[in-house]
Amino acid sequence: MQKGAIGIIGGSGLYRMFTNRELVNINTSYGEPSSPIQVGTVADKKVYFIPRHGINHEIPPHKVNYRANIQAMYDLGVRQIFATHALGSLNPSMKPGDFVISDQFVNKTWGREDTYFNGPDTVHISTSDPFCNCLRNNISKVFDRFGFKYHKKATMLVIQGPRFSTRAENLIFSQERNDVISMTGYPEAVLARERGICYVSVGIVTDIACVLGSKVHPQHPSSHAEVVNTFEVSVENILSVLDYAVTNIDKQKIHCECIQSLKGAKC
């Protein structure tokens, strides 16, 4: 185990990140992760990758074992995670192909195992700022360097899926000032926080959500094919961003509070 390794969780298209790679089978106290974990090196740094939905996209968002995925990363010594998310946009300024670094989430999922502390240890971590601000700054500098269009802040609404939301639901979501919609943005971030791991969402807008009565938003509903297509078009840019971020992460001298998340949180 190498402490301080870097983890990536995202779509299976990110397999292309490594030229040298091997697979590690790992089981955790919370079950098996979505697939064997791919290990590779980027600029002499050990990087672990989990395809969130499995190698063949066989695990829908509400069935992902988020606890096992984060625990596997933790057990392997990962202390910083870059997670990619496909996002539907509720904000007219956030267009397909744009990158989004969410700083807040609103959770509308249910039934997902979202804590490592189900008793007897009772723990209340802070999620006022649920994503690692150090990694958010880090990744925004990378976007600046590449000149990619991105949004430094956004509120990510996380829905249960696997269906897309209705026009009426999206009207409410937009009135509640959410910017983007995800099906997988929760509970990874809070599980990582409970384990003291820095976690950032590298989001890509894949479609515009239909909002009831809106002239701004499109009339045709989002489709899975549209989401996959936009994500695939952007995947080379995502790979470039992740490669540069991982390569240069030491230079950013990350010293943040995520590792102290349990301090004062236990009853």
**Interface with Zn ion in residues 184-213 (CB under 5 A):** 198
Minimal distance, residue 89 CB to Zn ion, in Å: 26
Q: Which is nearer to Zn ion, 134 or 156 (CB)?
A: 134
Based on the shown chain and the rule CB under 5 A, indicate whether residue 154 belongs to the binding site for Zn ion: no
204 with 154: CB under 8 angstroms?
no
Which conformational region is residue 101 in: left (phi greater than 0), alpha (psi within -120 to 50 degrees), or beta? beta
Q: Look at residue 97 and give its three-state secondary structure.
A: coil
**Interface with Zn ion in residues 36-55 (CB under 5 A):** none
User: Which of 96, 52, 86, 91 lies closest to 72, judged by CA?
Assistant: 52
Based on the shown chain and the rule CB under 5 A, indicate whether residue 78 belongs to the binding site for Zn ion: no
Based on the shown chain and the rule CB under 5 A, indicate whether residue 256 belongs to the binding site for Zn ion: yes
Residue choice 134, 191, 200, 208 for contact with Zn ion (CB under 5 A): 134
Q: How many CB atoms lie within 10 A of CB 30?
A: 17
Based on the shown chain and the rule CB under 5 A, indicate whether residue 245 belongs to the binding site for Zn ion: no
User: Which of 66, 1, 13 lies closest to 39, judged by CA?
Assistant: 1
Residue choice 68, 78, 90, 132 for contact with Zn ion (CB under 5 A): 132
Strand partners, 180: 89, 156
- Using CB under 5 A, count the residues that bind Zn ion: 5
Q: Which is nearer to Zn ion, 49 or 199 (CB)?
A: 199
Residues lying near Zn ion in the complex (CB under 5 A):
132, 134, 198, 256, 258
